[in-house]
Amino acid sequence: MIDVLFITRCTAYRETGGDPSVLEPLRLKLNTVEATMPYLRSLVKNNGDANAAQKMLANSRLTHRSLPTLTPFYLSGFLSRRGVSMIEIECLELEEKRCKEILDQGVRVVAICSTWMSGYFGVAEELRVAARKIKAMKPDIPIVAGGIAVHKSMAARRLLEKGEDGGCPKNELAKHFLLFDPKEDACFDALAVGISSEITLCRIAERMQKGRDFRDLPNLVVPEKHSYLFTEEKKETIDVDKEIVDWSNHEACVREYNALVRSGVGCPKRCGFCDFSGLFPVKLRTDDSLIEELKTLQAFPAPRRVFFTDDNLAVNRKRILSFARRMAKENLGLAWRGFMRVDVVDDEVADALAASGCHECFIGAESGDAEILSNMNKQLDPEQALRGIEALDQVGINTMNTFVIGFPGECDRSLANTIQFISSLPSGVRANAFHRYYLFRFEVPILSPIARSDQRKRFGLEGIGSFWKHNTMDADGAKAAVKEVFTKVTGPSHLYLELPPVDWSPADHRAVSEERDNVTRRYLKGESVDASSLFAKVKEADC
């Protein structure tokens, strides 16, 4: 009998950021297939035969839909140390048959994770559909949901109680959040709403092992016919230094992708567009705890690839310097990536990062315009950001830089500054590393600071989600602006959701990506499109 059947994702991965048509035009398609690097390489190897190229990739993990996430690795270890067994379904949509087989073999409780949902909006219905599928398979097995989307639902409910609902009707909120319609949420036996929901899940499993009811445990919400039963709200904390993942037990993930390591929880910043802002108190692991976990990778040959999953690995300059120097001193043989505040990066930090094995930083640049960054409460200056990226380039560290298009105050001037900023990133022969960018159209999440009444009044902001307008732009104008930025940028390439071939150098990745964008821009400008130059770059990379 398995104690917990854990559903990591309800559906196959779908890109976040609202309306998918915003980014679709920015990505080249060949034979109706998105021209990712794995597909281009396969296409060239098969002499342009699209069917053969797709067959070659059919069983490959070189697709964003199969990328692993930290939660099941962390949670399985957490539960196992406490005598609770767990088995994972990576994606219910793709593994319904296997899910039914496991349920038939015997499961005490099903836990649905909401952390890896596909976007800001509509997640409640996605969760409910998954719960109903499982109920149809085994009606008597209790289903519990937890994770970030459940935590956000609780926060949204509290906002509504304060009258801060962003003008969104309650029935509309129920489409996006749980805890607004008990009848619709009746497919769940309980929702785990505490900030340490792994403790709650463990206690539920322990109760089920003894054949006892669990619905009186703290930090639960139990949907009833016309209302919700809220159990005691109890603050419970976890010693993050002790809950390490032993990656020597997860060879497949490490060899095929990366070890997924979390150095802390929460972010102290309060960027205006972010709906994670303030959700969790900041808890940082010590260098000793992190090194202990990273040493479990020594079972595998170098380079040992690591992805730090934190929203912000560089909470401050002192911490990232200490951690990077410790990693270098331990000579761990790492090749790692992580999210980084670029304002902490100078020549000294860049040198320490390179010595520690860092090869890519994900940077929230967000705009090339100082006024927009001020409106966002980003606490960042464009020139400062560019200096940090150039320092990383000098030591050969790649960057992926995100930008939000359409934030209140956006106008022709700010767009021109963003285009100039992106075009100023090191590219082509003048670059030592590979620098990409990713454009998001501004969205208005209900839990973001920009959705509060004082900010709405300040900027004349109306609407929620993908439907909004403010004093200087509306959602349709921002969609057009995304395309405008892409077509006017010169140099760096826009991000595709792909895993580039590991045997290509950064220069190979850069050359193929930049040529792919050049072809796409010509197409968007109405020029004739010939992909032969792109195929030539792929052949050069494979030589």
For residue range 22-37, list pLDDT tens digits in order.
888 999 999 889 999 9
Contact 78, 243 (CB under 8 A): yes
Question: Cβ–Cβ contacts within 10 Å for residue 163, how many?
Answer: 7
Own/partner long-range contacts of 31-37 (Cβ < 8 Å, ≥24 apart): 34/496, 35/496, 35/516, 35/531, 35/534, 36/62, 36/496, 36/497, 36/498, 37/496, 37/498, 37/499, 37/500, 37/501, 37/504, 37/509, 37/512, 37/513, 37/538
Q: Interhelix angle for 412-423 vs 382-394, to 10°?
A: 10
Query: How much is the pLDDT for 371?
Result: 98
Q: Which two tokens stand for residue 534?
A: 């792109």
Question: What's the confidence (pLDDT) of residue 357?
Answer: 97
Identify the pLDDT of residue 271: 93
Radius of gyration of the chain (CA): 24
In this structure, CATH architecture of domain 2-15+66-230: 3-Layer(aba) Sandwich (3.40)
pLDDT less than 70: residues of the chain:
13-19, 59-66, 117-121, 165-168
Which residues 6+ apart lie within 8 Å of 189 measured at CB? Answer: 142, 143, 144, 215, 222
Q: Give, in order, the Cα–Cα distances in Å from 184 to each of 132, 331, 406.
A: 10, 53, 34
Annotated domain spans of the chain: 2-15+66-230, 247-499, 506-543
Q: Where are the beta strands (DSSP E) in 211-276?
A: 220-223, 228-230, 259-261, 264-265
Cβ atoms < 10 Å from Cβ of 471: 12
SS (H, E, C) 405-421: ECCCCCCHHHHHHHHHH
| Residues paired with residue 110 on neighbouring β-strands, in sequence order | 5, 143
Backbone angles phi, psi at 28, to 5 degrees: -70, 140
Give the pLDDT of residue 166. 61
232 CB-contact burial (10 Å; exposed 0-12 / middle 13-18 / buried 19+): exposed
Which CATH architecture is the domain 247-499 placed in?
Alpha-Beta Horseshoe (3.80)
Cα–Cα distance for residue pair 54/538, rounded to 1 Å? 17
Copy the structure tokens of residue 40: 């281009």
| CA atoms of 534 and 522, how far apart (whole Å) | 13
pLDDT at 61: 47
Q: Residue 65: its pLDDT value, please?
A: 45
Contact 150, 228 (CB under 8 A): no
What is residue 301's DSSP assignment? P
Q: Strands 107-113 and 143-146, how do they pair? A: parallel
């560019």: which residue's tokens? 386
The residue type of 277 is S
Measured between alpha carbons, how far is 337 from 362 in angstroms, rounded to an integer? 8
Q: Backbone dihedral region of 17: left (phi > 0), alpha (psi from -120 to 50 degrees) or beta?
A: left
Token pair listed for 115: 């952390």
User: What is the SS3 string spanning 102-156?
Assistant: HHHHCEEEEEEECCCCCCCCCHHHHHHHHHHHHHHHCCCCCEEEECHHHHHHHHH
Which of 136, 122, 116, 138 has its CA nearest to residue 2?
A: 138
Reported as a single tens digit per residue, the pLDDT across 325-334 is 999 999 999 9
